[in-house]
Structures are given as structure tokens and as C-alpha cells.
Structure 1
């Protein structure tokens, strides 16, 4: 169902469905707080580290009150902004993530979220490129803030505690702009993944957000339903981490896609894990033991761990009706286990376009479609041949401007000069269902791990290409928890172990450019020959290598 809609600056419900009107999300929040103050926005654990104290039900009244409190706090600490200055927020996985966005908007700022996995230099680059004015945080000594400040000397402000914001009452912080006046104002700043270059800030404006939300509410063609409709009004247990930079299967704001966009426009109550607990499968399983959820929304590497544990499978399937993943690939073996037992599917998108509105045929759930998308016809997607081999065609996806449907094509609010937008994502067509495609790689050869991290292989490959004992090298690992290395020696007479020992020092030096869990382990180096390496592509690396070696590697992963 679509939520009540509100006139700009007027807190009364309108009869029009959400896909018919462009809205400011800040007005929807204030409208809900006035018209449906006791409706549930979220269930959040009272304890920051566990579920032993139960859950706190957070209403729209309390959320809007927290926004007002933070808005007045920002104004008192920093002053109002007349030019949408940027404020970086770093904090735990609690509702302050949502509240700070709207508080910044009311005080005239725009909020920047960054991934906790970014290199320090990349975070500092984002602060400089956005002319960030200050850092807001729950912990001035946490989140690597002292190191960030060393490179970018900025004032740091500690936001009020969560309990204070939820318990104390604050006067309303007014926001009076209508949509037409505010449509080009910034809503939020995210950033690109930085896999092929320094992460670039991406300012999402109100017109982008309104267009994106309308795209998810567009009426489905006869005989189809939009997958998004299966989550509307449901209780969604959100296990995506804060500031998660998502891979090709989702966009950087995939966490916000549920906790902010979906919650407010669909009246979808969210369930949060403990704010300071590890965001892992064990935390999800413990949570499902204390509260029922309709949908579990998880990163892809959760699927493997759940599917490999029969007890976890029983808990998830008995306590939720749907399992949805975003931000990467899942292995088909593990996906098959889950899809046979419950509604299971993935969401695809990117920061520039949001999640793609994808259709499913009515008349029963097809458990084989979890990896496929059928883009809504109004989205303007075209799949064009990119390459062919072994009777298999790979397609690149383009989004083509459609004058009649521009209000549901968010990417063209960012790139107004373009007639078409190349996604650089590669797909395979469904063998039987027309219009259905599954993601299989990137034109830039980025490796997308199952942990939702993107890895640039060029540093490792270019570095080892210069090694005197190496004839060829390829980093692989799409859909796996960490990458591996396929290496061909110059001298095939040398034993594999001697060859690996001989190049290991060089691999270790190049590993320093990567996060610890993205580095090549010695046991993840596969020695191969020219025929095997040349037939391998990063998108289909499991199809063509020495199968005994690959099977052994997969078991170790």
C-alpha cells in the first residue's frame, strides 16, 4: 500500500496515490507525525549490544520529535546554513541516521554519509570535495575520527544521546518550502564506490528522490506485480550496515532505501539490530528469536552462512516469509536452498539510479527467478549485445530517456544532458523468459565480492605483470567472500609451490593497497597455464579454469 500523501507544508492527507504526485520526504514525515502520530516507524533494541532488554517501539511522533531536537541542536551549535553546507555524520546503527538527514535539511544543510570501509585518504578527499563544514558524531574518538581530522582539520560535534532525543520533547522546527521551490535542493550526499578512481560525491536532490520513489510506485503492467510491492507495509528486519557502499546489485543507499525511503512512503515498519552489535548472521538469528519479521533484508554473504546451517535455515524460514538480499552476488547453490523454502530474491541498482523497479509474473512465486530482474517498461531499460562466446551473448544495460516517463527515470535528474545512460553492468538473458536478465559482471572488470565490497584488481594485476617470473596474472572472485589470484609462470618446469614462494614477497607488497579482507592469501593463489587463463573472464571465472583447483578453492572459501 502507498502511504498517505501530504500537501507541501500542510499536514493533511491527500487522496492521490504516491506515484501521481511528487513529494518532499520531510513533509511526509511531519505529516505522518501529525496525522498518524502513533503509527510505528521502527522497532529498535533498547540495549545497544543485545536483545535482552527487549525492543522499543518508535512512533512517527517520536521520530519527528528527534528530528526537531537535532535540528535545533545543529542550529545552536553551528548556526543555520543559507547555502546547503555539508555536514558529515558518523554514528552507530540507530535511528539517528534517519533523524540527522531531516535535521540537516531543516537547518539548511545537507548530510554526507561515507562508507566505513573507505580508505582514509578517500574519506578526506570526499570532505574536501564537498567543502564539508563539520563532523557530527556520537563518539568523537571513534569511527577513525582522530585520523580523519589529522588530514582535514574540521570542528567535531557530539550529537545528543539517542535516549535524550527519544524521551525529551522539543518544539517543532518548521520547514515551509513547497516541492517546486525545493526540488533542486539537496536531500543527501552519497558517493561512488571508488573502485576505479577516487570516490566522487553524489548529491541526491529532492527531484531525484521524488522521481525515484515514483518509479517504485508506477502501476504494474497487466499480469505482473512490482517486487517492491511485496515489502510495502511489512515488518522488515534490516541487516545492512550503516554507510554501506554497495556493489553492482544495489546502490550505496540501500540501507537508507528501506529505513528512510521505504519506511516513510510505504508505512513499512523497520526492525533494527542492536546499534553497537556486530552486523552478522548470529545477530539476525538472535533477533528473530525475539521478534517476528515479514522480511529479512540482508547482504549477500549472509545467504551462504544461513544456507550452510540447517538450524539457521529453520529459524529464518519459520520467523519470516521473505528473504531479500542486496549489494552483491550470491552463489546459486546457496540461493537454491533458500529459494526452495521461502520467497527469496535480490535487488539490483546503483547510486545514480536507485533500485531498479523489477517485475514478477502473477500467479505463484517462481523460485528460480531470484537472480533475475525484469525492469518495469517505464524505466527505459535496454539490453544491448556486448560480446558473444560459446553460443552465449552478454548484454550491457542502458537506460534510454523517455520523454513520457521522465518522472520515473531518476538517473536523468542527475544527467540532464544525456539521452541515454550506460550502466556499464553486464547481463545474461533468461533462457526461457523474455525480458528477464541476470547480472554477470561489469564492463570495467570490477570484482564484486559477496560481502558487498567492490575490489579494483588493477593494482595487483599491473604490479605482478612486471614480475620476471610471471607470464600472466588475473585476479578473480566475483560473488565470493574474498578474491583469489590466477597466475601463469614463465617457467612451467618449476613446481607450483616454489613458484608461489618466489612471488609471495611481491604479492604481499601489493596487498598493502587493499583492505585486509580483500588481500590475496597465499592459499588463494592458483598456478595455471596460458590456455586456462586466456579462456577465463572475470564475469565467468568459474566456468573455465582448472576445475580441480577451483573446486578446492571454493571449498576453502
Structure 2
């Protein structure tokens, strides 16, 4: 089931890249929001290696080297120092905690407590977030060097020593991400060297009836625009694996507050040297709604690679008509299990064996033993083998008191609110009712609108946290049933 390859630590992948082509561009990032005027700044592999060593010495001198993977929270502007800090932390023996910028203070406090974090390394521009955090949980705070300081070409630092072998360090806890907090407080997720380098094993997974695994398709690109936040686990993963394990140039847009707006997407796609794009579905939805962006991606890109959520059918249809789409799953065999109470709907279930335990993240990032339930639901293609369509998350399903399963995702694409609320959405409700079964029918008198003082909770990927919304609006829902009955 695929040839054997020698896996490499991240530090080894960087050392190999430095030896092979030190002047290869590691990253090209937009200098400002005015990309046409200011363009991009390129950073080479040589500069990356210098920045890693310089930051490792800084951590060693100020925070101290760790022998037991002490946790350091890194929080900063969404720039390439996230990747630099990850690799420097490997060298100094730390486990680096990365928190989403979408997190509440309660989420960040919870993560610091769960990971026994007592040290913060922060950049400029995030003082308010960290000052507020350490008022609630006292921690030592250190100011990270600026990006320009780390990239200085004068007074070069000595290489910071790191001598661990793959066998010694493959399972070292080098970074900590977290779940989205959709159903409660976020859970820390520990990533190891193996978590990142497994991409090399995925590249040799055999084709399935002529269909190559996602990792092989990714090798067709030489320059990728990463739209996902660099502090997101997906951003960190691709930020490490694309440049160091796949020899791609990573392209980043300018630092913005919140999701990248369509105007910035358009500038980057039009003016950057790219041939592929990766991101979370919110950005693909933006592209699908813009005729100009659709023309640009068709003209410039070989593929779009996305993860972190499902893509709506209209967006998928618009994009797949122009180019190749690839959704990141395990790249390996998976076992569907039919969901009780829902005909033709199956859950993606991972089954552990001697082959998959070394190639699937779920066995390292969850507490699952021999079987892992993903909660991702799919339906079969009626005629094509190995073709599955995403249906919903299991926790998106609403179970009525009669035991029926209702899937609100089926009508998500109809849920954009026009200017005149109730009357203007009724045609959309009627269209939605035509594709829902009896349990999912929505009556006019049972429609509840969200309010400005209770905004819908969003995950870091920009999608609505449905379970959290139901809990937030539980009083209004109960009142509605008291008013109108079942």
C-alpha cells in the first residue's frame, strides 16, 4: 500500500532546503493593502533559517531552554513569525500554543490552564489582548523581535544546535492548536513532528481506480496563495509543509482584521505569482460570487485546495466549472457507517490498523483507540464508485421529539437575509420546504430572527456554530413553542 519513504523532522526539512537551494523563495507576502502600488516582499530559505536561529537564541536567553516541553503561548500579528516561532520552539524544546484570533478571553484562559502555560511571547499590535489575559491569569510576558530584526542580514547568529534524530523526536509535542469550540470550550490539540511530516507519506499513497490522493495533486503547484489565517492549524500545517516538504513558494496577503475582504483576494490573485490557492470555504464562497475572481482563478490556477468545512453547492458548482477542486480528507481508505434514522446517509469513520495508525492524524490528535467517529456525514453518488457528497456534520442535525433527523444545511444556501426581513424571506422558506422532509418543514410563525446584542457565534473558519446558536437562543425558542405550540 505505497512505497516506504524516510520521514523527516521539520528541522531536517529546513536543513535540506537550505543545503539544496538557499536562495529559493520561502514566502512572498503583500507589503500593504495597496498591492498594485506596494507589491510583495520575498523571503528566502536562507533568511528563514537565519530568523529561526536568531529567535531560538532569543528564547534561550530570555525564556530559557526547556527539557520537558514547557508551553509557551505565542500570540501576534498574523505574519510569518508564526512559522518562525514554531521551528525555533522545536529547537529550544518548547511546545508552542497557538490561539485563534477569533477566540474569546474565556477560550484563551481555558487553553492556557489546560496546557499549563505560564509564559507568553507576543508581537507588537496585540498588547490589549495579552494584557487582559494576564490580568486574569498571571504569566510572564516577553516581546518577540520584529520581523525585520529576525531577518537582518548583518551580524548573523550562530546556528542554534539541534541534534535529535527522527526516532528521538518524531512524537515530541512541538505545537498545540485547539478545536473550534463549537460545542463548548475548545480542546487543546497537540501536534508532533509526525503530524507535519506525514504529508510525505500521503504523497506515496496508491491511486484509487485512477484517482490520485490529494497529496499527489498538491505537488503539481509551485506557488500557492494561502488565504487561511496563519495562526489556524490549517494555516500552520500548510505553512510548514508546502514550502519545506513540497518546495512551494508560499504567498500571503496583507495583514487584515477579520476575514480577508474580496477586494484583497482579487488583488492578490491578479498580481501575485501563484498557480494554486488553499483556504477555508468562506473564501471560496467569496470567489464563487465574483465573476472577475472566477475569471482570474480559471486563468491562473491549477487547483483550489480547501479544508475546515463544507462548500455550498452553488459555490462548488461555480468553481468546479472553472478548475479542479480538492477537499482535504485523510487521503486514505475510510469506512462509511450508515446513520440510523436517516436513509442513505453515512458517517465517515476511521478504523485503526498497522498501516493507518502511522498515516492518519486522528490517532495522534484524539483519544480514539481503534475507531474514530468523525461526525462528518456523506451521501453516496448514485452511479460513480468512490464518490461521496458531504451532507452535514452530525452535530448540525436537529433531532425532533419524534426522533426525526432534520438537516438545516440543506437550506443554508437560501438563508441570505434581504432588506425586508420576514415577508421577503418567505419565498426562500417555501423553496427550502420543498427539499426538506415533514420533520424539517418551517412555518412562518416559527421563524425567529437573531438580534444585534446576541450575534451568532462563529468558528475560527468563519462558519456559524449551529449548536452554540441553539443554546444561545434557547429562551427565544422555548418562548416561541409556548406561543404557537408544537
Q: Which residue does the alignment assign to 1:555?
A: none
Q: 1:178 aligns with which of 146, 154, 165?
A: 165
Q: CA separation of 1:416/1:23 partners in 2, compared to 1, >3 Å: closer, same or farther?
A: farther
Deviations 1:160-200 (A, max 9, x none): 11112112322211110111111231121111222222111
Q: CA RMSD in A?
A: 3.8
Deviations 1:348-387 (A, max 9, x none): 4xxxxxxx21xxxxxxxxxxxxxxxxxx33xxx1001113
Q: Which residue does the alignment assign to 1:511?
A: 454
Unpaired stretches in structure 1, ≥5 consecutive residues: 1-16, 245-252, 349-355, 358-375, 447-456, 466-473, 487-494, 535-557
More helix per residue? 2
CA distance in 2, matches of 1:344, 1:275: 26
Q: Which residue does the alignment assign to 1:422?
A: 373
CA distance in 2, matches of 1:198, 1:481: 30
CA distance in 1, matches of 2:235, 2:368: 29
Deviations 1:105-150 (A, max 9, x none): 1111111111111221111010011111211121264462222222
* TM-score in terms of structure 2 length: 0.80
CA distance in 2, matches of 1:41, 1:18: 28
Q: CA deviation at 1:72?
A: 0.7
Counterpart mapping for 1:314-463 below 5 A? 314-348=295-329, 356-357=330-331, 376-377=332-333, 381-387=334-340, 389=342, 392-414=343-365, 418-445=369-396
Residue 117 in 1 paired to residue 97 in 2? no
Secondary structure of the structure 2 residue equivalent to 1:76: helix
Residue 77 in 1 paired to residue 62 in 2? yes
Residue 285 in 1 paired to residue 266 in 2? yes
Q: CA deviation at 1:400?
A: 0.9
Residue 258 in 1 paired to residue 234 in 2? no
Q: Which residue does the alignment assign to 1:236?
A: 224
Deviations 1:268-311 (A, max 9, x none): 21111113476232212111232231112232122333222222
CA distance in 2, matches of 1:160, 1:78: 13
Conserved? CA contact 1:140–1:156, under 8 Å: no
CA distance in 1, matches of 2:455, 2:314: 33
Residue 41 in 1 paired to residue 26 in 2? yes
More strand per residue? 1
Q: CA separation of 1:128/1:388 partners in 2, compared to 1, >3 Å: closer, same or farther?
A: closer
Conserved? CA contact 1:396–1:423, under 8 Å: yes
CA distance in 2, matches of 1:512, 1:343: 35
Q: CA separation of 1:56/1:409 partners in 2, compared to 1, >3 Å: closer, same or farther?
A: same
CA distance in 2, matches of 1:173, 1:104: 11
CA distance in 2, matches of 1:137, 1:48: 23
Secondary structure of the structure 2 residue equivalent to 1:195: coil
Q: CA separation of 1:140/1:293 partners in 2, compared to 1, >3 Å: closer, same or farther?
A: closer
Q: Which residue does the alignment assign to 1:250?
A: none
* TM-score in terms of structure 1 length: 0.70
Unpaired stretches in structure 2, ≥5 consecutive residues: 423-428, 430-442
Conserved? CA contact 1:293–1:320, under 8 Å: yes
Further displaced range: 130-139 or 302-311 = 302-311
Q: CA separation of 1:140/1:290 partners in 2, compared to 1, >3 Å: closer, same or farther?
A: closer
Q: CA separation of 1:299/1:480 partners in 2, compared to 1, >3 Å: closer, same or farther?
A: farther
Conserved? CA contact 2:362–2:368, under 8 Å: no
Q: CA deviation at 1:237?
A: 0.5
CA distance in 2, matches of 1:18, 1:52: 48
Q: CA deviation at 1:508?
A: 4.9
